[in-house]
Amino acid sequence: MSEFTVPSWDEYFLGIAQAVSTRAKCRRRKVGCVLVLDRRIISTGYNGAASGEPDCLEGACPRGMLSYDQVPGLGDYDRPGTPGFCIAIHGEVNALLYATRDTKGAVAYITDPPCPGCRKALAAAGIQRVVWPGGEYDRVGLTNWAV
């Protein structure tokens, strides 16, 4: 009898998040997110420009056009008109926007730790747990800004 290795649920859904990230339209990083409720996927999202708008791969993102040594800190990230401005909607937010049902009690599987803005959005949407490779937040971690 041969042995089969079955991934844990966390490993399984993180693998799907990794696959989702391949659709990201960003020159700097590719982030994928999968929202899961009762071990069923209710939504996926990846980072990129708003639907129907020119994206980073088309040269529409000021931040994406900078070389890595020119990129300012996160302070300019959300300030239109600055060289560090990024047009991308984060994968977590896209997953929340396209969820087909209530996300209260769901788990978010993400390819990277969520930024502070995404932590707030996930908490507001009722997400109970966030998992990424090498880490996780439970509901308290999502709303504990000192973490």
**Residues 9, 41: contact at Cβ < 8 Å?**
no
Catalytically annotated residue among 3, 53, 58, 92? 92
* Residue 117 amino acid letter: G
> Rounded to the nearest 5°, which phi and psi values hold at 32?
-120, 150
Q: Is 92 a catalytic residue?
A: yes
In 22-147, alpha helices (H): 91-97, 116-124, 139-143
102 Cα distance to chain centroid: 18
Task: Provide the annotated active-site residues.
Answer: 92
